[in-house]
Structure 1
Amino acid sequence: MFIELYKFGRIVIQGQTYTRDVKILEGRVVPHWWRESGHRVVLGDIRDLLRTAPEVIVFGMGKPGLMRLDPDVRDYLQREEIETIEQPTAQAMETINSLLQSGRRMAAGIHLTC
């Protein structure tokens, strides 16, 4: 699975176009990622990602990077020793592709707009 294209509000993953936020876990895309608090990611928003026991979670924070992790999320991931990468979505796309090629157990939450 590879991300082929990202533009504001649109991402193409393995030939499929998505226009709403997505998650990637266990080699599949979960479309229509809706967060409880809009631009803030809380633990409830990523429970499915955590169940996959990832080594690393990549967060595409939007084109300008306005999405934020709640401090409780950051603390939890640190306690569980899950590497956390927060990047603007264009950069996160490259990181995700690289991690997928490396074979590391990874998951991702990708915000497509702001």
Structure 2
Amino acid sequence: MKIEFPGFGRIVVDGKTYGHDVVIYPSGKIEKRKKWLSKNKHGTSHRLDPDELREYLSEDFDVLIVGTGAYGMLSLLPESRELVVEKEVIELPTEGAAEKFNELWGKKKVLALFHVTC
């Protein structure tokens, strides 16, 4: 699996372009991020709430990669970080997160969440 972040508002996964935030599971399943769960609680989807993160913890993983957006606006809340305390967590602006994903995919079980705008 290969990720490209060609620019603000879109991400390319294995040649398919998505115009919304995505979650990629270790199995290769891709789904739209359920960011309304964070937005309804915090008034913004730029804070990754534990209730939202729990939605993505259905598969075993070694590394959580969070693409924080083109300008790094998305962040894990401390309570969310507690849910993955025993896992490696990498938070980078989305372009760097995509590069890290490409480096680790196939070597480790990666759960990734990519914010594609700010």
Contact 2:33 2:113 survives alignment (8 Å): no
TM, length-normalised to structure 2: 0.86
**Residue number in structure 2 paired with 1:92:** 97
CA RMSD of aligned residues (A): 1.4
Count of aligned positions: 111
Q: Shift of the alpha carbon at 1:32?
A: 4.6
Q: How far apart are residue 4 of structure 1 and its match? A: 3.2
2:11 is matched with: 11
- C-alpha displacement of 1:61: 0.2
- Name the residue aligned to 1:113: 117
Q: Is the 8 A contact 1:49 1:108 kept in 2?
A: no
Match of 2:30 in 1: 29
Cα 1:12/1:86, change in 2 over 3 Å: same
Segments of 4+ in structure 1 off by > 3 A? none
Name structure 1 gaps, 5 residues minimum: none
Cα distance in 1 for partners of 2:6, 2:112 equals 14
- Unpaired stretches in structure 2, ≥5 consecutive residues: 40-44
1:28-55 superposed Cα distances (whole Å, 9 cap, x missing partner):
2112542422111012212243121211
Q: Does 1:62 align with 2:66?
A: no
| TM-score normalised according to structure 1 size | 0.89
| Correspondence 1:41-80 to 2 at 5 A | 41-78=48-85
